[in-house]
Amino acid sequence: MVIPVFVIKGGGVHRFGRFGEPDDIAKAVFFLSSKYSDYITGFTLDVNGGMYIR
């Protein structure tokens, strides 16, 4: 397996310790298309595994 240089220099992938999977995006899409998000408007949902927390 080839490890990208940015992973080596960054000291790891990120908070969750893994790369995101398509299923992670699908869960966000499922939530936004459900009745539980019916009062949510005008926001950005960052599905990034905590990358911005660093």
**pLDDT, tens digit, 9 for 90 and up, residues 26-51:** 999 999 999 999 999 888 888 888 77
> Does some domain include residue 32?
yes
> Does some domain include residue 46?
no
> Does some domain include residue 11?
yes
Percent above pLDDT 90 for the chain = 33
**Number of structural domains the chain divides into:** 1
> Does some domain include residue 50?
no
> Does some domain include residue 10?
yes
CA–CA distances in Å: residue 20 to residues 25, 38, 42? 8, 26, 24
The boundaries of the domain holding residue 17 are 1-38
> Does some domain include residue 54?
no
Helices first, then strands: H and E counts in the chain: 2, 0
> Does some domain include residue 15?
yes
Q: Identify the residue with better confidence: 42 or 1.
A: 42
DSSP-derived letter for residue 52 is: G
Give the pTM: 0.63
Token digits of residue 33: 């298309």
